[in-house]
A = this chain, B = another copy of it.
């Protein structure tokens, strides 16, 4: 039996995302109250994997997840899953829209359903909750503190609630991306459409330090897809970098690039190479395929063989 932690409570988008992953089949899925708790469950060996949110197309990176992965006992990302953020208005069975005078949800969710609420429940009081799924779960308390909750669709199923209105978010394009995290071990095999995540600490903050990092990637044809200055917590303005780049550590170009980073940075933490959720393969310029690297290496070996 595989045990998998996810950011709970039951009924979250994390649970919805996890249910779509191959790894979840036949596994025991356990909600944890925080990202930190879920990751510590992996570190402590209580679970094999944890699924935690890492990015939202509206809010950006989940910086607490970035920071948790960057520090503490090393972990490794082995997969990712992205799901559309679809909000649902849920209530106890028998409730109608007209009954709803108070509703609860996470502030991000109410912000993203502002238009629908203005149109359909203009008089309702919105009570902030720590999580959307938690707001749904609390409907089962006696007596409930409010009549409805904005929550993921999966929460209705999990808590036996009715759906009063589905897909009530203002932004159809909102997505959340989750990463599946394990202890460091076998890197998943390359698929041709992979991503590699790293944290980089500069040797010192000299002008052009960041340019050096990007050049190590660019010169080998490795495209950087995300970069963020994150505080080292030592001093204001002192940063490490959290980056995603296209490709897999097993790809020659990526391997040579991150070995290059290892030489110019004070510390590089490899956070994993894993299949992209969108299956998008990188556009490679000429000269950077594995075959190109192998040819160049064979040529170099032949030159050196003369020594």
Contact = CB atoms under 8 A, between A and B. Distances in A.
Interface in A63-113: 63, 67, 76, 82
A219 interface: yes
B250 A304 contact: yes
Interface stretch (A20-28, A37-45, A155-163, A223-231): A223-231
Given A59-B63, A225-B237, A304-B187, A259 B297 contact: yes
A263 B250 contact: no
Nearest to A219: B219
Nearest to A245: B207
Contact of A227 (B210, B262, B264, B283): B210
Interface string A284-307: 011110001101110110011011
Nearest to A204: B286
B57 A231 contact: yes
Contact of A300 (B215, B225, B259): B259
Interface string A262-274: 1110001010000
A218 interface: yes
Interface of A: 55-61, 63, 67, 76, 82, 128, 130, 171, 173-175, 177, 184-187, 189, 203, 205, 207-208, 210-211, 214-216, 218-221, 223-231, 233-239, 249-250, 255-256, 258-260, 262-264, 268, 270, 278, 282-283, 285-288, 292-293, 295-297, 299-300, 303-304, 306-307
A10 B255 CA distance: 53
Contacts of A63: 59-61, 63
27 contacts: A57-B231, A59-B63, A60-B230, A60-B231, A61-B63, A82-B236, A128-B130, A173-B235, A177-B236, A185-B306, A186-B307, A187-B303, A207-B218, A207-B221, A207-B223, A207-B283, A208-B223, A210-B224, A210-B227, A226-B237, A227-B228, A249-B300, A250-B304, A255-B304, A258-B300, A263-B288, A268-B299
A307 to B, nearest CB: 5
Contacts of A236: 55, 57, 82, 175, 177
Given A214-B211, A296-B263, A57 B307 contact: no
A263 B288 CA distance: 7
Contact of A259 (B184, B282, B299): B299
A229 B214 CA distance: 14
Contact of A235 (B57, B184, B250, B260): B57
Contacts of A270: 303
Contacts of A57: 231, 233, 235-238
